[in-house]
Amino acid sequence: MTAPPPLLFLRSPLTFIALAAALSGGVLRVLTVLYLAPIFNVISEKDLSALPGVLLGAGLVAGLGAVALFVQDVCLGRVAARVSGLWRERLLSRLLERSPGNLPGSSGGLTSRILTDLKDVEHYYTILGTMLAESSFLLCVLIALFRTSTLTTLLLFVTVLPLVFLLYWLGRRLKGVTLRSQAKLEQVGSQLQEGFKHHGVIRAFAAGAFLLSRFRNFNKASERQQVRRSFIVSLQAPVAQILTFGAVALLLGLMARRVADGALTPGQLVSYVTLVALLSAPTQLLSKSYASVQQAKAARERLLELWHLPVVTSSSETKPVTGPGLRLENVSFSYDVQTVLQGIHFAFPKRGLVALVGESGAGKSTLVALLLRFLRPTSGEVYLDGQPYAFLKEETLRQRVAYVPQSTDLLSGTVRDNLLLGRAISEEKILWVLKAVRLESLIQSLGLEYELREDGMGLSGGQRQRLAVARALLSEPDVLLLDEPSANLDEDSERVLLETLTLQAKERLVIVVAHRPGVTEAATLVLRLENGQLQEIRKSVASNQ
C-alpha cells in the first residue's frame, strides 16, 4: 500500500526555515527582556550618555525578533495550505478507488469529515511556530533565571510540576472528546447534505418539520460534544495562569529578601522578576498549543483511518483460458449470510440487445455490479474474451465495459466535460456519438460548452439519459450495461432511447436491466434472474411479465 503523505510535519525547506525563525525569535525576545537590567542601571546611575546605545541595541534585537515572527508565520501558513491541499487531493483520489456504494459514510458526511479534520491540521501548523518560539523563549528565560539564582529557580520547577501533569491529563481527555466531537459533526454534515439533495421531496410532502426534528437530534448531540471540547480547551489557560501567579508571588517574596540582604542589585531584581512574570504568557500559550496538538492528533487518526481503507487494485492481464465474449463461470455472491446469486453459468452473445428481468430483490443490480467489477464474486469468475475479471487491468476493463446508471449521474459543468470526463477524444467522434443518440441538433443549438447545473439540470430527463449513453459510447465498449434506463422517461423519450440501443446492439453487446415491456419487446434475448439463477426465456413470454 502506498504510504500516506505527511500530516503533522512536512519535510519542506519552508518548514525548517519557519522553525529556525521561530527558534531565533524566542531567543531574541529573551535578549530584549535582558536589556531591561542595563537600561534600569543606566537610569539609576544618572549617566544618560550610554542610554542611546543601549536603546539602539534593544531596538535592533526587537526588530530582528519581529522579522523572525513574520518569516515564521508566512512559511508555516504556506506549509499548512500545502499539507491541507495535498491531503484533499490524495484522499479524493484514494476514496474514488473504492468500489462504488462502499464509501464509509454519506457524501456530505465524508466532505464534512475531511474538511473539518484538515482544519484542525492547518491550525496545528499555525501554532507550530508559536510552540517552538515560546519553548525557546521559556528555555532561555530558565537559563537566565538559573544564572541569577539557582535555588530559587529550582523551587520554581517544583511549583510548575503539578501544572505539567494537569495539562497532560487534560490533553489526553481533549483528544478523546475531539474524536467524538468530529464524528458527531460528520453526522450533522450528512444530514445537511441529505436535506439539500432531497429538497423537492421534502417540499412535496411538507416534511420540513420531520426533517428538522431528525436533524435537531444529531445537531444537539454534536453541540454537546463541542461544548465539552470547548470546556477542556478553555480550562487550560486559567489553570496555567493561577499556578503561574502562585509561583511568581512566592518567588517575589524570596527575591525581595535577597535584595534587602544585598545579595542582588535592584537591576537584577527587576530583570529576574520581569523574566518570571514573562513565564506566564508562554505557559498559557503552550498549554493552549498542547490542546491544539491533541486535537490535531485526533484529526490525524480519523484521516489515516480513511487512507487505510482497502481499495480496488489493478492486476496483470493473463492469457485467455476460455472462449470469447462475456461469460459467467459458476458465479455466486452473498451479502453476509444472504445468498443472492448461486452457481451461475452463462455465456452472453458477442452482440445484441439483452434484457435482464426479475422481481425486485432478485439480484439484478448485484449482477450488474459484478459485471462492472464493483463487487467481486464470492466464488466463481467473470471472463471477458477469455480474460478473468480478477486479472484485468482497471483501464482495460473501463475501456471495454461501459455503464449507464439509472440516475445518469451527470456533473455540474459543461456538456463537453460530462461527455469526456477527462478523456482525450476528437471533436469528430463526439459529434458522431451525439448524432447516434439523437442529440446532435440540441447540442448544435446549445453548444458543447453549455453549462449544466447539479445532476444535469438544464436538460430534460430524456436528454440527460441520452447524454449518459453518449458518454458511455465514446469509449467504443464491447459491452454496454444500462440499469433501468427508461424507468423515468415518458413514452416518446423511451422510444427514442430504444431505437438508439437497438442500433448499438448491432455492433456490441447491450445488457439492459428492465421492468418496462418496451425494452423486453425490443430485446433479441431476454434473461430472467430468479432464485439466484439466470434463465433464458422467450420474448413472447417476457412481454407478458
6 secondary structure, DSSP code: P
Neighbours of 509 (CB within 10 A): 22
Kindly report the pTM of this predicted structure. Answer: 0.67
Q: How far apart are the first and last CA of the chain?
A: 49
Distance between CA 26 and CA 23 in Å, rounded?
A: 5
Report pLDDT digits (tens) over 493-516. 788 888 888 988 998 999 999 877
Range 278-295 average pLDDT = 74
Residue 238 clears pLDDT 90, i.e. is over it: no
Percent over 90 (pLDDT), the chain:
10
Using CA atoms, how far residue 251 sits from 245, 268, 336, 379, 394, in Å, is: 10, 14, 69, 77, 71
Whole-angstrom Cα distance, residue 344 to residue 339? 12
**pLDDT one-digit tens code per residue, 137-156:** 777 777 777 776 676 677 66
Across-strand partners of 404?
Answer: 482
Between the alpha carbon of residue 166 and those of residues 244, 277, 279, 290, 369, the distances in Å are 13, 21, 17, 12, 54
Cβ pair 527, 353 in contact under 8 A: no
Where does the pLDDT of residue 328 fall: very low under 50, low under 70, confident under 90, or very high at 90 and above? very high
Residue 345: what pLDDT?
A: 93
Report the pLDDT value the prediction gives residue 545, as an integer from 0 to 100: 42
Looking up cell 455540474 gives: 412
Q: Tell me which residue has cell 473504492.
A: 98
Least Cα distance to 327 among 306, 342, 307, 349 occurs for 349
Specify the higher pLDDT residue, 2 or 321.
2
- Over residues 35-61, the mean pLDDT reads 68
Least confident of 287-291, 306-310, 315-319: 315-319
Instruction: For residue 461, give every residue at least 6 positions away whose Cβ sits within 8 Å of its Cβ, in sequence order, or none.
Output: 488, 489, 490, 493
356 in Cβ contact with 525 (< 8 Å):
no
3-state secondary structure of 538: coil
Helix axes 208-260, 280-307, angle to 10 degrees: 140
Q: Which of 187-201, 288-302, 352-366 has the lowest mean pLDDT?
A: 187-201
Residue 543: pLDDT above 50?
Answer: no
Q: Is the pLDDT of residue 483 over 90?
A: no
| Model confidence at 170: pLDDT above 90 | no
Instruction: Answer yes or no: is pLDDT of 542 > 60.
Output: no
**Region 528-536: what's the mean pLDDT?**
89
